Structure 1
């Protein structure tokens, strides 16, 4: 559920005179990714651009199949090639193009300057090794420390993520832990080398609601303590309202809207974003049925030629089916990929 009070508080905190923007920690430019066997000219990630400032959080939002995880895996150098291929674009992290690094250079960055938390920790943790071994291995890979020092650091990280009886848990195997504990281990492992960028790919999907809130709170606290930047991939708009500084809404491989969290929630400008907002339950008395978006994300072989959202859009016209809309500036820093944007200028056409 969307926390409107949190949004208002964030607006007040940020109501200060603008300052010159420093160079972002991460800048992604015109990224396109294709899988072997896909129809000619159809990219699963298509012309995606965004940036992330130091210490800030970018939330990437969208349904399953929209390209969110593929984008994240490409930044980490974890996409198998083939079948995945980066056909265009660049990603600059701390001034270096990630896609131009050798595999050895990528391995030096991954797990050190950048780190990732995955959806299901049981598939990411090795069942044959103890938790302590797995955390210590990553520490020794990137730091010149002894095994004893690495284990001490691993113990410190388990304490930071508030795992009960951390000395005992160091010697435990993943199957001996609950889902929430395993996810805390993944967070400890990701942050053990003090990364500058954390990518969290729906880190609470496999957990119950109570544990989800605890994990999100934990990640926020650790981010505040370390000052790291974060990309959070999620479909939960309530979480987005709580933690995001910037939001990128993805649909069928394209960014269809982007801007500050305040701009996206207060003035959504793409029909897909509006549909997502309408499907979120509120704390107040329900006035009717929740809105739904008919249909589903199209597979690559059925990707529309024009606007990829056109088959599901209640406002679509003939032009939308044949001509891909450009990403237009609605206001400074707020963009939408729609022929009707800004909606205020086409109110009669869309309402």
Structure 2
């Protein structure tokens, strides 16, 4: 995509330790343009949520520390600006939808109170004007009888309705960037489809850029423009959704696709990726995926692979990429 990105993360290194333990996030880089959806995918424990929380300034510091790297948002570095400046952006020009709304909504206050509070925090308007805006955004996310819903508490709503409230709160101040961290994981398939369609439609209407964090590749296929595959704190492959789905070039990406169930009759068992993400204090010296990779050789154990570009806009960090030319299982 041409033009200046709204958000550009460059070589991010982040740690929670003062010792010699490797960074929990290492060398992460990506861009998001206005109106674009970037999906960050990978197993639990790969660093997806930590990356998003670092961008929003929601990690406790200490112990979290950005060792190096930049995150340029609309021309400003999120990691060097003051906390007051970051707070003025958060919930206003940048917003986040969390995985579990019951842990994000305050059970002691009504839905209306919480939305109004967020609106007035960033806008010099009266309570009456904020109340009208709150009803407007509840209507925008297709919540029935929004005027009545303003007076209810979170526990009085279903999971799908609570998630719609979270989306309404995130969109209330018309953010330029929306970060959605597993926003549909706790919902059934029907509600999940409704929420994804809702977010996509709202994004099309407002031009908001979105970073969607998920482990569900069916969600990625539905909404992504670009995809970043993350493993053990590193982005191992990135590209357009078409490139990643039609021509995956990292063994981890291929393993993720192989483990996805499909509709209809299967001829055999689902593929699995043996093992698990290595703990920080036992990261291999070379490729972090080496202990689980069917192609690994001595070089993979000793040297971290550079990112190569099998096609414009498509990168993969694997010694064997492009796989169709070099990979022969050991």
Q: Distance in 2 between matches of 1:36 and 1:171?
A: 45
- TM-score, length basis structure 1: 0.92
Structure 2 CA distance for aligned equivalents of residues 206 and 153 of structure 1: 28
Tell me by how many angstroms 1:287 deviates: 2.2
Q: Is the 8 A contact 1:59 1:240 kept in 2?
A: yes
**Residue aligning to 1:221:** 201
User: Who is 2:309 aligned against?
Assistant: 329
1:212 to 192, 212, 231: 192
User: How do residues 110-189 of structure 1 correspond to structure 2 at under 5 angstroms?
Assistant: 110-189=90-169
Map of 1:309 onto structure 2: 289
Matched residue count: 330
Alignment RMSD: 1.2
Tell me how far apart the structure 1 counterparts of residues 315 and 242 of structure 2 sit (CA, whole Å): 13
Distance in 1, Cα, partners of 2:127 & 2:80: 33
Which of 22, 26, 31 is 2:7 aligned to?
Answer: 26
Q: CA deviation at 1:284?
A: 4.3
Matched position secondary structure for 1:137: helix
Cα shift readout 1:226-270 (whole Å, capped 9, x = no counterpart)? 111100000110110111010000000000000000000000000
Contact kept? 2:21, 2:281, Cα under 8 Å: no
Which structure 2 segments of 5+ residues have no match?
none
Distance (whole Å) between structure 2 residues aligned to residue 207 and residue 299 of structure 1? 30
Q: CA deviation at 1:282?
A: 2.2
Residue pairs, 1:275-314, within 5 angstroms: 275-314=255-294
Superposed CA offset, 1:122-142 (max 9, x none): 000111111101101111011
Q: Secondary structure at the match of 1:224?
A: helix
Aligned to 1:99, the other structure's residue is in SS state: coil
Question: What CA distance in whole angstroms lies between the structure 1 residues aligned with 2:234 and 2:182?
Answer: 19
Q: How does 1:183-198 map to 2 (within 5 A)?
A: 183-198=163-178
Instruction: Provide the rounded CA distance (Å) in 1 between the counterparts of 2:91 and 2:206.
Output: 16
Instruction: Please tell me whether the aligned partners of residues 33 and 86 of structure 1 are also in contact (alpha carbons under 8 angstroms).
Output: yes
Kept in 2, the 8 Å contact 1:325–1:339? The answer is: yes
Aligned equivalent of 1:40: 20
Q: Partners in 2 of 1:331 and 1:287 — Cα distance?
A: 33
Unaligned runs of 5+ in 1: 1-19
